[in-house]
């Protein structure tokens, strides 16, 4: 079946602009996760959703970052007033739910470059 | 989550079995072992996971020692497309941040040689 889909695959924008990143999880997956990966670094957890609720937003780096999920499906990650340090690959993952050992499945990410 | 230790790199001849080790000596009873791999410019790809029994799927086999302090991922017939960084991750039970955050270490860079 279809995997996790993220768009756009690449985004180049100027410092100070807002960007919106989209994630379409695997159908039927109630849990959705956002991570980011900076060049040569490991994955950094940002936020996760169970349904439309985000019980843990502790990984969001600043109040410029926000995320929402609607209809228990699509999620958007928004970065306002982008800074150069926001440049990274933003990865989305989904799993059946967050209460079982079922694995997280990742999309190929959005590569964000801030000029 | 328990920490994991993996060798930084390994080579494997094409067509041979690749055996990737992982130590997780502080694993607790309700923690699962997961393996992912990441090929350059792609997202992490789930391979397999297990609790205490050995597991096999179409991609690989996972051998977990009886004391659960280490495991080995086996790719039975490595191909050039298996060249990637392989991550062994231990993920906790059903409450707390350790139950949903995946913590990727540095992994093992596997190079499959023609």
Mean pLDDT of chain A: 93
Give chain B positions within 8 Å (CB) of A35.
Answer: 102
End-to-end CA distance of chain A: 37
* Nearest Cβ partner for B43 among A48, A59, A108: A108
Question: Cβ contact (<8 Å) for A98 and B105?
Answer: no
Nearest chain A residue (CA) to B107: A42
Query: A93 CA to chain B: closest CA distance, Å?
Result: 9
Count of Cβ atoms closer than 10 Å to residue A33 Cβ = 27
- Which tokens belong to A86? 């926001």
User: Is B2 within 8 Å of B24 (Cβ atoms)?
Assistant: yes
B interface with A, Cβ–Cβ below 8 Å: 32, 34, 41-46, 49, 51, 91, 94, 97, 99-106
What is residue B103's predicted lDDT score, i.e. its pLDDT? Answer: 86
Q: How far apart are CA B25 and CA A75, in angstroms?
A: 37
Q: What is the pLDDT of residues A25-74, one digit of tens each?
A: 999 999 999 999 998 778 899 999 999 999 888 899 999 999 999 988 99
pLDDT, averaged in runs of 10, over chain B (114 residues): 88 98 92 94 94 95 96 97 96 66 91 97
B82 φ/ψ angles, rounded to the nearest 5 degrees? -85, -5
**CA quadruple A80, A81, A85, A86: dihedral sign:** positive
Contacts 24+ apart (CB under 8 A), B25-32: B25/B69, B25/B70, B26/B2, B27/B2, B27/B68, B27/B69, B27/B90, B28/B2, B28/B92, B28/B93, B30/B92, B30/B93, B30/B94, B31/B1, B31/B2, B31/B90, B31/B91, B31/B92, B31/B93, B32/A101, B32/B90, B32/B91
SS3 state at B97: helix
- Provide the number of CB pairs (under 8 Å) joining chain A to chain B: 50
Question: Cβ contact (<8 Å) for A107 and B43?
Answer: yes
What is residue B98's predicted lDDT score, i.e. its pLDDT? Answer: 59
End-to-end CA distance of chain B: 37
What is residue A102's predicted lDDT score, i.e. its pLDDT? Answer: 86
What is residue B93's predicted lDDT score, i.e. its pLDDT? Answer: 60
């Amino acid at each position: 079946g279809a995997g996790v889909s993220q768009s756009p695959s690449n985004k180049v924008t100027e410092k100070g602009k807002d960007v919106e990143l989209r994630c379409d999880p695997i159908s039927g997956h109630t849990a959705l996760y956002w991570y980011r990966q900076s060049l040569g670094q490991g994955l950094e957890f940002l936020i996760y959703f169970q349904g439309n609720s985000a019980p843990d937003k502790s990984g969001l780096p600043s109040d410029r970052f926000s995320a929402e999920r609607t209809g228990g499906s699509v999620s958007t990650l928004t970065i306002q007033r982008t800074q150069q340090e926001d440049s990274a690959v933003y990865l989305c993952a989904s799993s059946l739910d967050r209460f079982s050992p079922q694995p997280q499945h990742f999309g190929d990410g959005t590569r964000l470059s801030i000029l | 989550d328990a920490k994991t230790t993996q060798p930084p790199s390994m080579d494997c001849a094409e067509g041979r079995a690749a055996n990737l080790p992982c130590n997780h000596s502080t694993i607790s009873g309700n923690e699962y072992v997961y393996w992912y791999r990441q090929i350059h410019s792609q997202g992490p790809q789930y391979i397999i996971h297990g609790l205490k029994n050995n597991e096999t799927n179409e991609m690989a086999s996972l051998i977990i020692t009886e004391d659960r302090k280490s495991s080995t991922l086996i790719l039975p017939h490595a191909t050039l497309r298996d060249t990637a960084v392989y991550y062994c991750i231990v993920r906790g039970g059903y409450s707390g941040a350790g139950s949903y955050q995946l913590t990727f270490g540095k992994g093992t860079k596997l190079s499959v040689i023609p």
